[in-house]
Each structure stands twice: as C-alpha cells, then as structure tokens.
Amino acid sequence: MNEDIRHQSLPQSFSVRELGSTEARGLWGIKHTRKPVDLMVANAKTSITPLPPQVELRISQEGCEIIGEKSKTFYPIHTVSYGVQDLVYTRVFCMIVVKDSMSADRKPFDCVAFVCESRNVARNLTYALAAAFQAYSRKVRNTGSSKSRFAIDLRTPEELEMEIRKVDSDA
C-alpha cells in the first residue's frame, strides 16, 4: 500500500460536493470524525437546498484548496492532521483541520467533509492526501523542522468497522 502512495502524483483535483465543516473533538482518528460527519449528512438531507455545493478539492504538497464558485479556502498541509474515507458514508471523505485561532468556547479542530461521486473517488482522495503528507514529511526531514503531526487512515471502511467493533467489545 505504501508503494501506491509514492506513485501518487500531486497536485490532484477532485470534483466533490462540500458538506461543510463542524467542530471536531480531537486531532485525529475516526472517533473524532464520526459525529461531525453524521451531523453534516443529516443537515444536508434536511436542507432546503437540494444538493451541497459542487467544488473542486485540490490536493497538493502545499495543502488542500477548496475552490468554489464564489470562494477559495486553503488549508496548509501542516494544519491538516487527519484524513479518511468515512466508514458509514463511504462516498464521504473528511479531514480534521487544526485552526490557527480559537475562542475560549471552541475546540481547536474542525472536521471538513465532502461527498464524492463514488466510494472509489473518496478512496483516491484519501490516497492523494496521504501522498501530500508523505511529501511534507520528506520536506520536514530535509529541513529538520516540524510544525505538527498528522495521520491518514488508509484502512478500508470494512477494516475500520472491524476495529470499532473490537474496541466496543473490549470496553
């Protein structure tokens, strides 16, 4: 699997629907994306507008750029701490972003989610982010400095589900 990541060329662009972002309770792990994704999907299903907006999500060595019809948002790669294809909604890709500033009543992490046209596209987006993390890691090693830690979960939705069931049964 690591071999696949090395052969991912960057930048890569994906046409996705932006579900939005909401507060996450932790830096990385599917346990911190589960509730935010459920909330965003529920909001999208009950929304007056028929579909979330179509955007281009561009993954590069520098970060993740969301290009909409009227706006652009850029998350530098060192602010993205985690990315995964969702376990329940396998067409959803989400990532946890560390915010630069926060108020006293808010957590420092946001979960940003996108609906892809297929589960395979969501998987490819996950691989592209893994390639960006790998490129950033090489750059940090070469310069000897690091701004943050990050993680990418490359397990399939089935493997993630087995892990969650194992944790639940151990508890």
Q: Is the pLDDT of residue 98 over 80?
A: yes
What per-residue confidence (pLDDT) applies to 159? 74
What per-residue confidence (pLDDT) applies to 86? 92
What per-residue confidence (pLDDT) applies to 3? 47
What per-residue confidence (pLDDT) applies to 152? 62
Determine the topology of domain 2-170 in CATH.
PH-domain like (2.30.29)
Strands 92-98 and 80-85: antiparallel
Which residue has tokens 């294809």?
85
Q: What is the pLDDT of residues 32-54, one digit of tens each?
A: 888 999 999 998 888 777 778 89
Q: DSSP assignment of 111-152, as one string?
A: EEEEE-SSHHHHHHHHHHHHHHHHHHHHHHHHHT--S---EE
Regarding predicted confidence, which is higher, 26 or 20? 20
Q: Which of 104-113, 123-132, 139-148 has the highest mean pLDDT?
A: 123-132
Burial profile 21-55: b = 16 or more Cβ within 10 angstroms, e = fewer: bebbeebbbbebbbebbebbbeebeeeeeeebeeb
The average pLDDT across 124-153 equals: 76
Q: What is the pLDDT of residues 51-92, one digit of tens each?
A: 788 999 999 999 999 999 889 999 999 999 999 999 899 999
Band of residue 137 on the pLDDT scale cut at 50, 70, 90: confident
Q: Tell me, yes or no, if the pTM score tops 0.85.
A: no
